[in-house]
Structures are given as C-alpha cells and as structure tokens.
C-alpha cells in the first residue's frame, strides 16, 4: 500500500517507521520550516525513532497527497484547516484517511471523524486508537490497538495491512464510543499528573474507576455504547496515560501543579474544553473533567479542587 503520513511529530514519525516495517511504501510529510522535519532531513532521527532510507521525506504537500491513503497525525485542533488544504489541492479525488490523534474540536465538541465528513464528504475515514508509546514500540515491546470506521471494507483492509507482531489490531465496533473514550482519557491523564504533582498518587485507583464511569455516561448520551469506555480506547489506555513516564498528558498535569513549564503537546488541555461543551449539551455530569477544567482555565486551587472531588458526598453519583 502506498501511504503518506501527514505530521512529523513524535507519533507521526513512529507511524512512518511502523508502516514501513509492516511492508507499506511510505512517505512522511512535514511543513516547510518545521524544526522537526529539518532535523529528520539532516539525521533521519528525532532522538527516539530513526527512519530507514526506505521512508521518503517530503516538505511538499502536493507530493504528499499523491497516494490515496493518508495517515494523519497532527494536533486535533489543526485537523479542520489541514482538511481544507487537502480539499483545495485534490478536488474530485477519492481519499482514504486514517486519523491517528485523540481529541475533540474545542469550539464545537465534534469528533474528528465528523470533521472529516464535513470537510471531505467523499473521503473514507478510519480512526487508529489505543494504548502505546513510541519508546516502547521501538524497543520491541508489543501492544494492542483499535481500528474503527463506519466503512467495514476499509476497516478490514487496513487491519489486514497494518497488523504485525508489534501491534495487534482489534476491530472497533463503536466509532462514537471509541473516539470519545480515546479523547477523554487524555483529560484523565492530566488529572493523574496533578495527583502525582501533589503527592496524591494513591488516589489514582479512585480516579480510574470514577473517570471510566463518567465517560461511559457521556458516551451513552451521545449515542454510543457505554461499554466502550471499558475497552482499549479508554480504560485500556490508562496504563499508558495515567501511569507511564512517557505520557505527555500526565507530565503536563504534574508540571502544571508544580508551576513548571511544559512545552510538548498535551491534547487533553484542549479536549477538556470540548468535554465541558458536551456536558452542557447533554446534561451529563463530568466531575473529574470539570475539576481539571477549573484548575486549568478558572484559576482554581489544584489541591482544594481535587480534594473536593474525592470527598464528594457518598450520595452523589460518580
């Protein structure tokens, strides 16, 4: 399969490495002026992943859009603008997009596959979600992930092409639940980092059980299967998000409460705004997400807010 990976960050670079390893013909695209792409052009390495010579590197979006299959790994809030660029440059051409990000659009609360439907109505879209860190995959440590799509034929073709001993793919059966679960687990990861930063790591068990339950209620209210919150895209991703030293969201939450700078992308920061919008629209209570939002955006004291969260009345629903 001829594939272009759009986005040369940590995950996008790994995806190019992995897809080449699984036998695909791969090119990796980064925008002109991107410091990450400039480093890859010089050394073919980002310090974690080293790309073989069989992966082509390009800064030309036109060249990157030549394959019919595009694997997209950009910040979730940049997806709509990228799709508009794709639409302008490839009018009338059928595209297959595999979205490898976990987020929701801040201003609308929309899922990423919905944004594809709006901006590229003729495209066939799938999502690639679930646990795993680049550092572990490149060290040969395997994991299980999920591919989901409304297009059953596309889903089966991608799973057959992408599966390997390193990543075993499961068939997703609930696009709504898997996308909401994958995006919201990053917010739980920020909360976990805050607990770490405050010396309250022992509360992660309560965080995990309560977080899964509130997201299950949200998924159900949006028309998905609430059991998806207990699958690989949410609860099944907690080990990689709530505990891992490699988790950007956990690291961000810890740095925030310690007053330390953190410059890497933590998707949960934007996602929590979208979740508050969905909470208003559905009437579903999201106490953990609300607590994270209050700390990040409303100046609430982290210790008082989290203490209040875990000392709620026993009669209140979590």
Q: Of these residues, 95, 110, 155, 185, which one is catalytic?
A: 185
Nearest to 70 by CA among 94, 35, 104, 34: 94
Catalytic residue list contains 204: no
Q: Look-up: residue for tokens 């299967």?
A: 225
> Two tokens at 313?
């009345």
Nearest to 205 by CA among 221, 188, 224, 222: 188
What contacts 219, CB < 8 A, 6 or more positions away? 174, 176, 177, 180, 181, 225, 226, 228, 229
Cα 96 to Cα 99: distance, rounded to the nearest angstrom: 10
Phi and psi angles of residue 310, each rounded to the nearest 5 degrees, phi first:
-90, 0
> Two tokens at 209?
């059980």
Cα 229 to Cα 238: distance, rounded to the nearest angstrom: 11
> Two tokens at 228?
């998806």
Q: How far is CA 287 from CA 60, 178, 191, 203, 264, in A?
A: 45, 21, 11, 15, 26
Annotated catalytic residues are: 185
């Amino acid at each position: 399969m001829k594939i272009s990976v759009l986005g040369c960050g940590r995950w996008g670079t790994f995806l190019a490495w992995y897809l080449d390893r699984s036998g695909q013909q791969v090119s990796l695209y980064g925008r002109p002026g991107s410091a990450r792409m400039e480093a890859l052009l010089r050394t073919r390495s980002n310090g974690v992943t080293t790309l073989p010579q069989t992966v082509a590197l390009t800064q030309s979006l036109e060249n990157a859009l030549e394959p019919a299959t595009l694997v997209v790994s950009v910040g979730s809030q940049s997806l709509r603008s990228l799709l508009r660029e794709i639409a302008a440059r490839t009018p009338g051409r059928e595209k297959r997009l595999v979205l490898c990000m976990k987020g929701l659009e801040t201003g609308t609360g929309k899922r990423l596959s919905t944004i594809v439907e709006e901006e590229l109505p003729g495209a066939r879209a799938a999502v690639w979600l679930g646990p795993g860190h680049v550092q572990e995959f490149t060290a040969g440590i395997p994991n299980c992930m999920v591919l989901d799509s409304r297009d059953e034929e596309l889903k089966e073709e991608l799973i057959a092409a992408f599966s390997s001993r390193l990543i075993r793919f499961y068939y997703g059966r609930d696009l709504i639940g898997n996308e909401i679960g994958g995006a919201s687990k990053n917010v739980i990861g920020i909360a976990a980092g805050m607990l770490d930063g405050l010396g309250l790591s022992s509360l992660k068990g309560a965080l995990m059980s309560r977080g899964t339950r509130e997201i299950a209620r949200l998924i159900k209210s949006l028309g998905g299967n609430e059991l998806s919150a207990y699958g690989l895209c949410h609860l099944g991703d907690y080990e990689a998000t709530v505990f891992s030293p490699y988790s950007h969201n956990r690291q961000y939450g810890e740095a925030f409460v310690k007053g330390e700078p953190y410059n890497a992308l933590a998707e949960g920061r934007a996602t929590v705004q979208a979740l508050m919008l969905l909470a208003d629209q559905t009437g579903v209570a999201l106490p953990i997400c609300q607590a994270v939002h209050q700390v990040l955006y409303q100046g609430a004291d982290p210790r008082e807010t989290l203490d209040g969260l875990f000392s709620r009345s026993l009669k209140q629903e979590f």
